[in-house]
Amino acid sequence: MWNGLVGVAKETYTAALGEGVVPRPLMMPLVRGELVGLIWARPLKVGQDALAGIAELANIAAAAGADEVVLAWETHDVATACELAIVGPAPCLNMVVASRDGHVLHQFPYTEQLLSRSTEGWASVAPDWGPAPAPQPGGELVPPIQTAVNFSYTPIELDHPDPFGVTVVLMEEDGYRISLTEAFAR
């Protein structure tokens, strides 16, 4: 399963970078080893909104009762959006697999090969994936990612017969892009 999730993240990054954008942070919650779906952060404003928007990715995992989560984000993009210092390689696709018992940080650094530049100055690039450093059990996570990991296991308390469905609808209304697997689709 892990290799498949890494493949999805790398394919997503390759496609988006080719269109001149960096994908927003992504969460992939799992329940008993089964993927719930893909949840991309809503459009984020620099600063506190970005910190909150990334941390709120945890809502779907918590509502689903996830026992494991995988988060993916780009080093420079999250640092810039959250006004944080860049920690680790950049540019780099980071992925953390986490459970209640801890987490392992995986990093996939890349260099950018310029494909084209628009008249507005936007660059379309292709990632040239470099060698990945060894996985880091307990590796340092930037604050909004750590918060999302922590809140993924905090039960959502909604007085509703379908707290998961309500959470999905509310997050979609807030601008999160959610693609649930068939087993979890409403």
pLDDT band at 185 (very low <50, low <70, confident <90, very high): confident
- Tens of pLDDT along 6-50? 998 999 989 998 888 888 999 999 999 999 999 999 999 999 999
Q: Render the chain in DSSP notation, one character per residue.
A: -HHHHHHHHHHHHHHHHHTT-PPPPEEEEEETTEE-EEEEPPP--TTHHHHHHHHTTHHHHHHHT-SEEEEEEEHHHHHHHTT----S-SSEEEEEEEETTEEEEEEEEEEEEEEEE-TTSPEEEEEEE-PPPPPEET----HHHHHHHHHTTS----SSS-HHHHHHHHHHHTT-EEEE-TTT--
Q: Looking at per-residue confidence, does 5 or 137 come out higher?
A: 137
pTM of this prediction? Answer: 0.91
- Tens of pLDDT along 101-123? 999 999 999 998 888 888 887 78
